[in-house]
Structure 1
């Protein structure tokens, strides 16, 4: 029960996102923006971990899908597919993710998430599809 209460009290990034330092800047069904530090989210070779990019992408896409789901009375978004292409490594600084909708229906939503480094260079492109469910 303690874990459930902790999850409920977590911010929009959830417990994992909070641990990874994800900070939301903007959130609407049309566009979700968040940042995440590279430090603390690296693999053994000192580069941003690909899984960390996927956590950021899923956090962004899930928030967008949930906000869209609220407009069609299906406020629960469940990620059912994610894919990511890692274009460039990052060793320091902060990355920024921007999620925009590719498709928004009554029972499903798909978002493209573009993650860039502080220079504006693309680090990762991801796509997340969520199933939208009613309570």
Structure 2
């Protein structure tokens, strides 16, 4: 992905230009792109993004529990990467999610709040809600912060 395409993709997914350096080389990531995730707010302490329910439903017609986890980990890992800065990156080491309500159509909003922003670990809570503000699921995500190897993106 060239620099212009990289920047365009990040902007299309709601990442502010001043944070583009947090995403060296890989853009928003293939899974977030495929899931239709769009950031509306992004900082180490709070990140918000939306995701359409379709086509990520399970055979019963409701949003797949794994899709909730994809949104949660995308939000928490991205917020952790913003906290880490461009010289480091976040690696998810733990996620747990409790599903409170199903949703079969519309848009899910994930709101990620930092519980701990340390030098080597971050912990975020992510609450997914429907368009009416009803809680769909709650996740907690822990990320390990690692140094980038020189010359890698």
What is the TM-score when the length of structure 1 is the normalising length? 0.88
CA distance in 2, matches of 1:69, 1:50: 28
Are 1:42 and 2:57 counterparts?
A: yes
Structure 1: 5+ residue stretches without partners: 1-6
**RMSD (Å) for aligned C-alpha atoms:** 1.7
Q: Which has the higher strand share?
A: 1
Q: CA deviation at 1:35?
A: 0.2
1:56 and 2:65 are equivalent in the alignment: no
SS at 1:8 equivalent = coil
Q: Deviation digits for residues 14-41 of structure 1, max 9, x if unmatched?
A: 1011111111111011110100000101
The corresponding residue for 1:4 is none
Structure 2 spans left out of the alignment, 5+ residues: 1-23, 149-153
1:8 aligns with 2:34: no
- TM-score, normalised on structure 2? 0.78
Question: Which of 62, 65, 74 in structure 1 is aligned with 2:80?
Answer: 65
Asked if 1:107 is matched to 2:120, the reply is yes
2:25 is paired with a residue whose SS is: helix
After TM superposition, where is structure 1 displaced by more than 4 Å over at least 4 residues in a row? none
Tell me if the contact between 1:67 and 1:75 (Cα under 8 Å) persists in the aligned partners: no
How many residues end up aligned between the 2 structures? 126
